[in-house]
């Protein structure tokens, strides 16, 4: 298969998944199961589970998170970096 065709196919699949996920989120919020802020908070918590607040999941598990600003390791449950004061929970725009 041509590499450009593969890239287009992957891009289309990602776009469809994003649309699907956005639709599910909107329906769940409309039905009152949670708010968008609750969803964002949960997404950030899940994102942190692999030790990196990077907007994706990786298989490698860490007990600490690297601060995006100073790169020092901090506990996963921290909302701010204890070294530089960076606000971790505000780092990702999930939408």
pTM of the model: 0.57
Q: Which residues pair with 80 in a beta bridge?
A: 87
Buried b (16+ CB within 10 A) or exposed e, 1-14: eeeeeeeeeeeeee
Mean pLDDT in the chain? 85
Confidence tier at 18 by pLDDT (50, 70, 90): very high
Top-confidence residue, 38 or 58: 38
What percent of the chain stands above pLDDT 70?
87
| pLDDT tens digit sequence for 28-49 | 999 999 999 999 999 888 888 7
Q: How far apart are alpha carbons 7 and 4 in whole angstroms?
A: 5
Predicted local confidence at residue 59, as pLDDT: 67
Confidence tier at 95 by pLDDT (50, 70, 90): very low
Provide the sign of the torsion angle of the four alpha carbons 50, 51, 57, 60, taken in this order.
negative
Angle at which helices 36-48 and 3-30 cross, to 10°: 130
Angle, vertex CA 70, rays to CA 68 and CA 72, nearest 5? 90
């Amino acid at each position: 298969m041509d590499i450009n065709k593969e890239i287009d196919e992957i891009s289309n699949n990602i776009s469809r998944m994003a649309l699907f996920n956005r639709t599910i989120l909107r329906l769940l919020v409309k039905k009152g199961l949670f708010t968008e802020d609750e969803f964002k908070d949960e997404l950030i918590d899940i994102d942190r589970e692999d030790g990196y607040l990077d907007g994706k999941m990786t298989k490698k598990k860490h007990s600490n998170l690297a601060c995006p600003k100073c790169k020092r390791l901090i506990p996963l449950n921290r909302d701010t970096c204890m070294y530089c004061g960076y606000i971790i929970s505000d780092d990702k725009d999930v939408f």
